[in-house]
């Protein structure tokens, strides 16, 4: 019994037709396929398929054999893949973590900076809460992180952009008629507050509200942009989020600028200075081109 016998049998069983399997799946002549199937049944010692005018169907022995045949083919394919990977020299890995949503803005620019390195590295991308990206940098789980400035003993940050904070609200909210919104016009009990997860955003918004003598009374709290957008859409509430969320807003949710000088929030590239990665070294040497690429769109 050879692997080709198993491939032929699985193809016939899945197509339910010797002719279709021969022509579309296996690209072989039907007489040859029939002969191979007879050889397989002889080897197994049981009839696996019943032939009929409307095609073929599995016998009880064939149904039992099919599951194991699929597993054998899968194991064989995995064995080939493992051997090929082992025969190739391993590529150095480079892992980049993004504050969820920021990959939409920054990943293409990171790829542009590293365009000459990508073919030679195992490039890995992940997203998470900002505080988790900072912790992953500290542990060495990621080489480069795009997040807020999350204090960690061995992590260095370089601010690469500052973005305004905007009002996010339902499309049918009365305040959408305003070209810019005064935070004092937001009903306090409609405001969606923040958990401890987005602590940088929360502290900036709290300070902004306090400076204007505004006291909100939230009953719902967001732990990230996805939760915030969902809460706005489902509760009809209003919140303040960084401008990078705008491309992520569903149709029922819109954003408006704040009047005057809105608060801003920084996005930074974080890394460990003791990381020996040559890819990280190259990136840091060319980080100005990252900002230039982003500014040019």
Three-class HEC string of the chain: CCHHHHHHHHHHHHHCCHHHHHHHHHCCCHHHHHHHHHHHHHHHCCCCEEEECCEEEECHHHHHHHHHHHHHHHHHHHHHHHHHHHHCCCCCEEEEEEECCHHHHHHHHHHHHCCCCHHHCEEEEEEECHHHHHHHHHHCCCCEEEECCCCCCCEEEEEEEEEEEEEEEECCCHHHHCCCECHHHCCHHHEEEECCCCHHHHHHHHHHHHHCCCCCCCCEEECCHHHHHHHHHHHCCEEEEEHHHHHHCCCCEEEECECCCCCEEEEEEEEECCCCCHHHHHHHHCHHHHHHHHHHC
Task: Name the nearest CA neighbour of 239 among 163, 164, 167, 165.
Answer: 167
Pairing, β 239-242 against β 155-170 = antiparallel
pLDDT of residue 297: 63
pLDDT of residue 90: 72
pLDDT of residue 141: 94
By three-state DSSP, how is residue 101 classified?
Answer: coil
By three-state DSSP, how is residue 273 classified?
Answer: coil
Q: Which residues contact 7 (CB under 8 A, 6 or more apart)?
A: 26, 73
Distance (Å, whole) CA 245 – CA 232? 13
Distance (Å, whole) CA 131 – CA 109? 23
pLDDT of residue 185: 97
pLDDT of residue 87: 79
pLDDT of residue 109: 93
Provide the residue-wise pLDDT of the chain in tens; the chain has 297 residues.
788 899 888 988 888 888 888 888 888 888 888 888 889 999 999 999 888 877 888 999 989 999 999 999 999 989 988 888 777 767 789 999 999 999 998 999 999 999 999 998 999 999 999 999 999 999 999 999 999 999 999 999 999 999 999 999 999 999 999 999 999 999 999 999 999 989 999 999 999 999 999 999 999 999 999 999 999 999 999 999 999 999 999 999 999 999 999 999 999 999 999 999 999 999 999 999 888 877 776
Q: Which helix (H) or strand (E) holds 272?
A: strand 264-272
């Amino acid at each position: 019994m050879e692997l080709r016998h198993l491939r032929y049998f699985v193809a016939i069983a899945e197509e339910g037709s010797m002719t279709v399997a021969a022509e579309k799946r296996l690209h072989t002549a039907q007489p040859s396929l029939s002969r191979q199937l007879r050889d397989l049944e002889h080897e197994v010692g049981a009839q696996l398929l019943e032939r009929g005018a409307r095609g073929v169907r599995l016998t009880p022995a064939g149904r039992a054999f099919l599951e194991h045949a699929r597993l054998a083919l899968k194991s064989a394919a995995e064995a080939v893949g493992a051997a090929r990977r082992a025969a190739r020299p391993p590529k150095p890995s480079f892992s980049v973590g993004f504050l969820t949503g920021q990959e939409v803005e920054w990943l293409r620019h990171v790829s542009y900076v590293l365009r000459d390195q990508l073919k030679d590295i195992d490039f890995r991308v992940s997203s998470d809460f900002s505080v988790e990206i900072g912790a992953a940098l500290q542990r060495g789980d990621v080489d480069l992180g795009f997040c807020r400035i999350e204090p960690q003993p061995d992590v260095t940050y370089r601010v690469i952009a500052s973005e305004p904070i905007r009002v996010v609200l339902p499309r049918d909210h009365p305040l959408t008629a305003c070209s810019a919104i005064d935070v004092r016009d937001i009903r306090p009990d409609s405001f969606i507050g923040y958990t401890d997860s987005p602590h940088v955003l929360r502290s900036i918004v709290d300070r902004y509200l306090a400076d204007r003598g505004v006291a909100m009374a939230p009953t719902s709290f967001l732990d990230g942009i996805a939760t915030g957008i969902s809460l706005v859409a489902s509760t009809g509430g209003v919140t303040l989020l960084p401008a990078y969320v705008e491309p992520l807003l569903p149709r029922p949710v819109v954003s408006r600028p704040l009047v005057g000088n809105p608060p801003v929030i920084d996005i930074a590239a974080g890394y460990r200075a003791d990381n020996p990665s040559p890819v990280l070294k190259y990136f840091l040497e060319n980080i100005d081109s990252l900002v230039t690429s982003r500014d040019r769109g």
